[in-house]
Amino acid sequence: MLTVRKSRASSLITSLSVLGGGAIGVLLLTPEAKAATLSFSESTFVFSNFSISPLDTTAEAITSTLTVSRNGIVEATANAQSIFVTPLLSPASAFNFVSSLTTGEGLDYFGTADTYARVVGDFDIASGETFSFDFTGSIVLTTQIEIQEFEAASALANINFNLSTLMDDGSVGTSLDRLNLLAFLNTSGLDNYSSEKTDAISFNSFNTSQSSESLTEFFLAQFSGTFRRFFPQATKVQLSETKAGLVSISASPYAVPEPLTILGSLLAVGIGGILRKEYYKT
């Protein structure tokens, strides 16, 4: 019997919410050696100590899951939270968080969980003023399968923030500075991590660790840093930070796809679809 489940949720976060603690549990395989898979992606980012308060802010969080099962059990969960806080007597701050998890057991199934979060702040920088803020963040990825010939698990996380000029009509102008982090795990052997930044961004700490044991892989990145840019002329700018978490698992009685096919599919239906539809609409 074919079972298909699809869910999607979108929310505009306007007040502070309490984020419950979470942990990755250990997946126990039964003595009967039923096929089991797991894929997990989680990332966080925090802005703090803004030198000036924003004129306008936006915070957005979106989740989407899809499960298809012919012979097995597959579950997908997605959580995303986002907030921009502008108190009167202390510096502004912003936070967002995404978490995606898929688990499966059986012989023929497919599951995905996609998450997206964004914070945006518009700032009016005076002539001769330095715009600055601090930031911290993290990425955690985990994939696990039991039978490599018939199962696949992939996890991806992307964090990006961009500072651009803001035109009088509200449209975004020239990109001034950016930070981009991308991490990807795949049980078929295609793993990737990349980072890029402009000179106005400096890291105070940046630590990564990665392990691969049997058919389980793990990646962790933790970082903190500072942004500082001097503006000789009065300038309106927009700071936008976006993140996406994409996970996918599958089991099939036939051979699993090649690694490049899996990565291409994730980018096409995940980051590509979410960012094109949600990020560029504003």
The string of pLDDT tens digits covering residues 56-66 is 999 999 999 99
| The token pair that represents 225 in the structure block | 């840093």
CB 107 within 8 A of CB 251: yes
The string of pLDDT tens digits covering residues 83-126 is 999 888 889 999 999 999 999 999 889 999 999 999 999 999 99
Give dist(CA 86, CA 250) in Å, integer.
43
pLDDT at 191: 73
Please give the single-letter amino acid code of residue 100. Answer: S
CB 77 within 8 A of CB 63: no
Kindly state the helix (H) or strand (E) to which residue 265 belongs, with its residue range: helix 259-269
Give dist(CA 235, CA 124) in Å, integer.
6
Residue 270 CB contacts under 8 Å (≥ 6 apart), including other chains: 112, 114, 156, 244, 246
| The token pair that represents 92 in the structure block | 């502004």
CB 52 within 8 A of CB 71: no
What pTM, to 2 d.p., does this model score? 0.79
Give dist(CA 101, CA 42) in Å, integer.
9
